[in-house]
Amino acid sequence: MSAEWGKGQQRPGAGKPYAQEVERRGPVRRVAMPRAPRLYAPEATVHVVARCNNREFYFTTAEDFATVLGKLRGMVRDYELTLYAYTVMSNHIHLLLQAPGAGTLARPLRWFLTETARVFHRVRGRRGHFWERRYRACLVEDDTHGLAVLRYLDRNPVRAGLVQDPAT
């Protein structure tokens, strides 16, 4: 018995069915999951986006871009992924890729994001978060959607003012 109820007293609603208590207090609140489960779509094409922490510009030199591309090349080779397109911006990356067979993208992307963070932290003497959060993955459902993603990846550097022509 709680200390706030006197001897021989019951809490309000005690002895009543639970449904009556819920009506009196209002609907039961549901607690949201902290994050959605990872996309699992074997052999599907996926558009992946990963942002640098606080949207800071971490990729600023030619060596930075070369490091990211080297790690990307290693991920595609080691995990046998099909990489259709990529865009590396100063503070985020876009990838359009496909996992082989029954494989998922979670393990190769975890490796890629961890390795790039490890290299940049070592080179710059930094610690802490490098990527803002987990990567976002969007399933590319058909060819029309795939072409829209390709156009977006090509035009992203132009819209950001980094290049004049998407071919460069």
Whether 89 has a pLDDT exceeding 50, the answer reads yes
Give CA–CA dist 87/62, Å, rounded. Answer: 14
Tokens 């503070």 belong to 91
Looking at residue 2, its pLDDT comes to 47
Q: What's the whole-number mean pLDDT along residues 91-109?
A: 85
For 23-62, the DSSP string reads HHH-SPPPPPPSSPPPP--TT-EEEEEEEBGGG-----SH
Give CA–CA dist 8/133, Å, rounded. Answer: 54
Listed in sequence order, the residues at least 6 apart from 117 whose beta carbon sits closer than 8 Å to its beta carbon are 130, 131
Instruction: State the architecture of 45-159 in CATH terms.
Output: 2-Layer Sandwich (3.30)
Looking at residue 13, its pLDDT comes to 57
Give CA–CA dist 117/109, Å, rounded. Answer: 12
Q: Where are the domains of the chain?
A: 45-159
Looking at residue 77, its pLDDT comes to 93
Q: What's the whole-number mean pLDDT along residues 137-142?
A: 88
Whether 145 has a pLDDT exceeding 50, the answer reads yes
User: Which ranges in 8-142 belong to alpha helices (H)?
Assistant: 18-25, 62-79, 106-124
pLDDT band at 132 (very low <50, low <70, confident <90, very high): confident
Provide the token pair at 112.
Answer: 């890629």
Q: Are strands 45-51 and 136-140 parallel, antiparallel or unpaired?
A: antiparallel
Select the highest-mean-pLDDT range: 25-34, 51-60, 91-100. Answer: 91-100
Give CA–CA dist 83/54, Å, rounded. Answer: 27
Half-sphere exposure of 36 (CA within 13 A, CB side): 7
- pTM across the whole model: 0.71
Looking at residue 30, its pLDDT comes to 65
